[in-house]
């Protein structure tokens, strides 16, 4: 007697060596992969101002943007603050970085106010996006119909969970979204604790680890030395660039307040710059120079404060009061004299310093050229 086994998903074997190897598919080439992706950053660091231009690029709407999207897609952007997204797009338009075609922007970039709902309810959105698939021409003359991107900014404002720190609950929600919305691409925007760029290996999404563990790619927005970076974390593709320096771009525009009054306002957004090893070294050298300049300015200020409080103070006393090296203090005093903020009286080896406005300043050393060439 023979009988037929019931089908099983894991019994559908595939060739381990297909004739055609598939290259990774991207939302943003070599930066954001197609699929379910997490983008996280600390609160107030500018996640939305960084993501909106990226999504405009994915939709083929960005102009002179440094990152490319070879495959064009429609974008559905769910935001807890739609006015901010509108202002960012208008700022890009003002700066000539968004296509000058309102109808095209509205057709390709769908903006939706956020509402919290269960993951199962979110998946019911899928049939409403049937008209948002995008035809892309293939090199062989065929056509590839690309699935849209659904950006949830943020997860707290869109996904209703009883406990965001419960791995089991979060894992189930992410799995429901992945399976229920597939092959629609989903970007989950969330928060991380305050972190430095150097902490990238230990950075994690606030709440359960399943946000990162159950998704295909993680990207993080971090800061270091007053600079912001978009850094690639877990990924399933290889790329030469893992970090992007975010440059702020601003634009002035007019807005209408609740009283109907016209108000001038500014809006900022971020443009990513790929960071190579050589550029990293250059940026590090710039930061070192900036740090040295800030340090030197601080020493000059401290010296000037001392001299202002104690006119006629001796150089030895100044150096004793400072925690910096004598050479640095000497250079700071010399700079203060050069700038005319301080005068010096020299009597043999003794040197006394006065603020430039002090009466004693009139009788200070006449030939500062000799002083400047002599060690302090």
**What domains, with CATH codes, occur in the chain?**
22-275 (3.40.50.300), 283-372 (1.10.10.10)
Q: What pTM does this model have?
A: 0.74
Percent of the chain at pLDDT > 70 equals 90
Q: What's the pLDDT at 283?
A: 72
CA distance to 18, 69, 92, per residue, from 356 (Å): 82, 60, 49
Token pair for 328: 């640095």
Cis amide leading into 183 (omega within 30): yes
Residue pLDDT, tens place only, 192-215 = 876 655 565 666 676 667 788 889
Rounded Cα distance between 181 and 170, Å, is: 16
The predicted-structure confidence for 274-323, as pLDDT tens digits, reads as follows 987 777 778 778 778 878 888 888 899 899 999 999 999 998 899 899 88
Q: How far apart are CA 358 and CA 343, in angstroms?
A: 9
Give residues with Cβ within 8 angstroms of 42, minimum separation 6. Answer: 191, 192, 193, 194, 195, 221, 222, 223
**Residue 2, pLDDT above cutoff 70:** no
Residue from 102, 85, 82, 9 nearest 51 by CA: 85
Q: What is the pLDDT of residue 276?
A: 75
Phi–psi pair at 274, nearest 5 degrees: -60, 135
Give pLDDT, residue 36. 96
Q: Is the pLDDT of residue 56 over 90?
A: yes
What percentage of the chain's residues is helix, strand, coil (to nearest 5)?
40, 25, 35
349: pLDDT confidence band, cut at 50, 70 and 90? confident
Query: Which pLDDT belongs to residue 214?
Result: 85
DSSP 159: B
Per cent of the chain over pLDDT 90 is 64
Tokens coding 355: 């603020």
Mean pLDDT check: name the lowest of 123-127, 153-157, 199-203: 199-203
The residues pairing with 79 across neighbouring beta strands, listed in sequence order, are 113, 153
């Amino acid at each position: 007697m023979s009988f037929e086994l019931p089908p099983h998903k894991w019994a559908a074997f595939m060739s381990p060596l297909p004739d055609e190897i598939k290259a990774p598919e991207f939302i943003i080439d070599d930066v954001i992969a197609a699929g379910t992706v997490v983008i996280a950053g600390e609160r107030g660091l500018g996640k939305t101002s960084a993501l909106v231009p990226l999504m405009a690029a994915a939709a083929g709407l960005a102009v002179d943007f440094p990152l490319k999207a070879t495959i064009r897609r429609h974008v559905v952007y769910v935001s807890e603050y739609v006015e901010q997204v509108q202002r960012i797009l208008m700022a890009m338009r003002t700066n000539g970085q968004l296509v000058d075609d309102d109808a095209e922007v509205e057709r390709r970039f769908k903006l939706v106010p956020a509402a919290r709902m269960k993951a199962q309810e979110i998946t019911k959105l899928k049939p409403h996006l049937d008209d948002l698939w995008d035809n892309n021409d293939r090199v062989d003359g065929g056509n590839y119909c690309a699935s849209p991107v659904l950006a949830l900014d943020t997860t707290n404002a869109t996904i209703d969970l009883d406990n965001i720190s419960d791995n089991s609950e979060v894992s189930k929600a992410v799995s429901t979204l992945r399976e229920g919305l597939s092959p629609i691409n989903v970007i989950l925007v969330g928060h991380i604790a305050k972190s430095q760029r150097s902490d990238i290996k230990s950075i994690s999404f606030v709440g359960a680890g399943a946000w990162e563990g159950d998704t295909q790619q993680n990207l993080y927005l971090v800061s270091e030395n007053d600079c912001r970076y978009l850094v690639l974390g877990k990924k399933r593709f290889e790329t030469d660039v893992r970090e992007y320096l975010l440059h702020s771009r601003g634009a002035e525009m007019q807005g209408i307040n609740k009283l109907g009054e016209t108000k001038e306002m500014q809006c900022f957004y971020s443009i990513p710059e790929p960071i190579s090893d050589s550029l990293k070294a250059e940026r590090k050298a710039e930061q070192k120079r900036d740090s040295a300049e800030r340090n030197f300015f601080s020493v000059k200020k401290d010296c000037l404060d001392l001299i202002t409080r104690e006119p006629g103070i001796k150089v030895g006393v100044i150096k004793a009061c400072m925690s910096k090296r004598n050479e640095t203090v000497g250079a700071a005093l010399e700079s203060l004299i050069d700038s005319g903020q301080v005068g010096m009286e020299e009597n043999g080896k003794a040197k006394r310093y006065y603020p430039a406005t002090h009466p004693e300043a009139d009788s200070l050393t006449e030939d500062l050229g000799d002083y400047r060439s002599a060690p302090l």
